[in-house]
């Protein structure tokens, strides 16, 4: 034990001396104008290796090296401008330096530049240029560029839509462990787009991405287990993967857990859990979840106590998003005065909005409510319904 302690101290001192010696040599070379040393010094400051982390110092040394044409420094400087690390965020400067490095065939810089063209950051949005730079990076084996090139072929962005090409690029990226590509490749095998439909292959790739923690892949994998596609039907596995996705806030997985807990599929039937997951769905602004939660409180479903005020709250949120059944039920609660002061005018408005979407029950209820109003009140309610619909359309991005 006595010998071990001095050895540990000696090694720590040796490491400290080595870092100090390396820093001294690198600094001396960098100050003499050596571009590689300037880049290395920038890296040391950026990562806090041998020196205290200092993005401003990193940016300064990258700038010196980049000005001499050092491609890695140009790329890293572009990234710092894009993120606002050590310098004021400036997308035009980011594009400038990414371009310099990309023209020297730096694959990562080409991929970054392609992404800037996709987003229109620091440069006019140009999907053709994005395809150009992503292709150059992808051909050099950059996994992210291969993935996003697949996206562009799948969606027909900057290039003619081509599922075969999309699948090929996804395959290349997926083989390198790129999780988004694995998930998209799984989806293409599931749907038979660009490849022959193969549910086993879909499960394979969904699993790869799900194991990396990607919520949408976890959800898709849960669906495959739930439906018995490409794998033996297994509700427990479905619940397992839905839960992983749901815990990351994935609304569709949360909705499926409501069903699984409500029906006792893959888990013991548990209405309390079902209600909790439904609440999480609704809290994310999911209109279907809001309506379902309103109905749960209105009728006392899933083991919760009937609560008209909570029902009004959730029906209103869904109704304002244009959900016809929520509008109909909300209107009838105003008409009956359940959980809220009776208001025939508001009842007429909500029933009218639901009826305009083809809800026949709402049409019947609107006509019942109309008998409680004078012609002048009906005219006023109709005008207010028009105004309400305009607000809903504006919220939904409709004209």
**pLDDT tens-digit map of 378-389:** 999 999 999 999
The span from the CA of 374 to the CA of 367, in Å, is 13
pLDDT, residue 4, reads: 52
- Percentage of the chain surpassing pLDDT 70? 94
Average pLDDT over residues 227-237: 98
Domain boundaries, the chain: 20-127
The more confident residue out of 319 and 50 is 319
Burial track 351-363 (b if 16+ CB lie within 10 A, e otherwise): bbbbbbeebeebb
7 band by pLDDT with thresholds 50, 70 and 90:
low
Count how many residues are written for the chain. Answer: 399
Average pLDDT over residues 128-138: 98
25 band by pLDDT with thresholds 50, 70 and 90:
confident
pLDDT, residue 24, reads: 79
Average pLDDT over residues 61-72: 96
- The residue with tokens 């990226």 is 173
Q: What's the CATH number of domain 20-127, 1.25.40.10, 1.10.540.10, 3.40.640.10, 3.40.720.10? A: 1.25.40.10
Task: Tell me whether residue 240 is exposed, middle or buried, using C-beta atoms within 10 angstroms of its C-beta: 0 to 12, 13 to 18, 19 or more.
Answer: middle
pLDDT at 217 over 70: yes
pLDDT in tens, 285-330: 999 999 999 999 999 998 899 999 999 999 999 999 999 999 999 9
Structure tokens at 72: 């890695």
Average pLDDT over residues 144-164: 98
Task: Tell me whether residue 318 is exposed, middle or buried, using C-beta atoms within 10 angstroms of its C-beta: 0 to 12, 13 to 18, 19 or more.
Answer: buried
pLDDT, residue 189, reads: 98
The mean pLDDT of the chain is 93
Average pLDDT over residues 86-111: 98
- Percentage of the chain surpassing pLDDT 90? 90
Average pLDDT over residues 205-218: 98
pTM: predicted TM-score of the whole model, two decimal places: 0.83
DSSP class per residue in 129-147: HHHHHHHHHHHTT-HHHHH
15 band by pLDDT with thresholds 50, 70 and 90:
very low
Q: Which residues lie below 8 Å from residue 367, measured CB to CB, with a gap of 6+?
A: none
Nearest to 210 by CA among 248, 176, 172: 248
| Structural contact between residues 139 and 148, judged by C-beta atoms closer than 8 angstroms | no
pLDDT, residue 397, reads: 74
């Amino acid at each position: 034990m006595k010998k071990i302690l001095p050895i540990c101290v000696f090694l720590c001192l040796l490491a400290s001396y080595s870092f100090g010696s390396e820093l001294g040599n690198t600094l001396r070379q960098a100050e003499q104008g050596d571009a590689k040393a300037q880049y290395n010094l920038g890296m040391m400051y950026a990562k806090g290796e041998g020196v205290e982390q200092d993005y401003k110092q990193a940016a300064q040394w990258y700038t010196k090296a980049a000005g001499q044409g050092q491609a890695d420094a140009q790329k890293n400087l572009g990234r710092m401008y894009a993120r606002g690390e050590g310098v004021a965020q400036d997308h035009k400067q980011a594009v400038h330096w990414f371009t310099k490095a990309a023209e020297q065939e730096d694959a990562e810089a080409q991929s970054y530049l392609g992404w800037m063209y996709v987003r229109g950051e620091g440069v006019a949005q140009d999907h053709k240029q994005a395809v150009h730079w992503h292709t150059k990076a992808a051909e050099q084996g950059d996994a992210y560029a291969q993935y996003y090139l697949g996206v562009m072929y799948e969606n027909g962005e900057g290039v003619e839509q081509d599922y075969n090409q999309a699948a090929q690029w996804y395959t290349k990226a997926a083989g390198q462990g790129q999780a988004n590509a694995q998930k998209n490749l799984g989806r293409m095998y599931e749907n038979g787009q660009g490849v022959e439909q193969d549910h086993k292959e879909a499960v394979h790739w969904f699993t790869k991405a799900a194991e990396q923690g990607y919520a949408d892949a976890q959800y898709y994998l849960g669906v495959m287990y739930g439906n018995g596609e490409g794998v033996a039907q297994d509700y427990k596995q479905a619940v397992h993967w839905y839960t992983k996705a749901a815990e990351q806030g994935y609304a569709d997985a949360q909705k499926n857990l409501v069903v699984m807990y409500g029906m006792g599929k893959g888990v013991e039937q548990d209405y309390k859990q079902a209600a909790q997951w439904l609440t999480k769905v609704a809290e994310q602004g999911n209109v279907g979840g809001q309506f379902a939660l309103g109905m749960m409180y209105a009728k006392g479903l899933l083991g919760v106590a009937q609560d008209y005020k909570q029902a009004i709250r959730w029906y209103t949120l869904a109704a304002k998003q244009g959900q016809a059944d929520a509008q109909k039920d909300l209107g009838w609660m105003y008409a009956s005065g359940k959980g809220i002061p009776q208001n025939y005018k508001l009842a007429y408005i909500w029933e009218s909005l639901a009826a305009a979407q083809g809800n026949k029950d709402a049409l019947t209820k609107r006509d019942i409510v109309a008998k409680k109003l004078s012609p002048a009140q009906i005219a006023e309610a109709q005008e207010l319904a028009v105004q309400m619909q305009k607000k809903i359309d504006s919220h939904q991005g409709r004209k």
